Structure 1
Amino acid sequence: MLAGLRRHARHLVAELAGPLRRVRLRSGDTVLEVEWHGAAPAEVEPVAARPARPPAVAEPPGRYAVRSPIVGTFYRAPEPGAAPFVAVGELVRPGQVIGIVEAMKLMNEVTADRGGRVAEVLAADGQPVEYDQPLVALDMA
């Protein structure tokens, strides 16, 4: 885990402009804080004002959302032009891959925790997703 955070920090520092004063990373509930030298207080948004994760939305009874395990780019298929992992109306088994989230050039498979029928694909192919964002809605079988 620590090696992954270090790798992310090195990549982040390489991409950011200006001399950094502080970088703060946390793995549990993922917090990342960056501060530059000479930044005026009005230019820096307080960390407490930003939610760590998207607000939870109540799921209808009998419906379950497969959520993103990380921040990244969501892909519905294993490669461009290929058939998607799942489509609306298909049955999904527990542990079945429903998509991929790319983060830092790593392809992370997203699997269903439970079985069910795909009711709706909630995230667009090739679009950025947040941690814990619903990707696919399943009607419980």
Structure 2
Amino acid sequence: MSGDGGAEEVLDGLSRHARKLVAELAGPVRRVRLRSGETVLEVEWHHPVPPAPAPRAEADPVTAPRVEPVPVADRPAVRSPVVGTFYRSPEPGAAPFVVVGDVVRPGQVVGIVEAMKLMNEVAAGQAGRVVEVLVEDGKPVEYDQPLIALEPLTGRDA
């Protein structure tokens, strides 16, 4: 047997795990990355973007309140490092890692994403104040999905 036979077996195993993981997940998968030792399998799909719904005409623009939330893309956020299930606390019944109003520092754990029975810590990449938790506890998340919206710290917060 050549030296590549072991790597092929590992790659075949990773491929089986990837197929099983994708089959078990709800919703479209954008990226899967699995590693075993030095062998890495990464698969990325490019899904077509559905067209935006046509704007509806307001029946009575005077009574309809105009709310313009800050788009998630325009504010800093802590994002999911993997596809999996998001948990706000280290175990059921425990206090969440962070709540709205908390100040987080770079590297601070703000949640967990479970993927293939592995618990992956989600850490803040920058300092900020938590302004919104964007995903409910126990809900599936996609790779790079915003989980926690942050407001950058000002001089008085730092």
For this structure pair, what is the TM-score category when the shorter chain's length is used for normalisation?
A: 0.5 to 0.7
Task: Name stretches of at least 5 consecutive residues in structure 1 with no aligned partner.
Answer: 17-24, 32-46
Larger Rg: 2
Q: 82, 98, 101: which is aligned to 1:89?
A: 101
Q: Give 1:58 shift.
A: 2.6
Q: Does 1:76 align with 2:76?
A: no
Equivalent-residue separation in structure 1 for 2:14 and 2:77 (angstroms): 28
Residue from 116, 129, 132 that aligns with 2:141: 129
| Pairwise CA RMSD | 3.0
2:17, 2:138 → 1: CA distance?
22
Deviation at 1:110, TM superposition (A): 0.4
**Does residue 58 of the first structure (1) align with residue 70 of the second (2)?**
no
Matches within 5 A, 1:1-141: 6-12=12-18, 27=42, 30-31=43-44, 50=47, 58-59=73-74, 63-141=75-153
Normalising by structure 1, report the TM-score: 0.65
Equivalent residues, number? 108
Distance 2:135 2:88 in 1: 9
* Cα deviation 1:47-80 (Å, max 9, x = unaligned): 65x259xxxx631xxx311100110000000000
Looking at secondary structure, tell me which structure has more strand per residue: 1
Structure 2: which 5+ residue stretches go unaligned?
Answer: 1-6, 24-32, 34-40, 50-71, 154-158
- Partner letter of residue 89 of structure 1? G
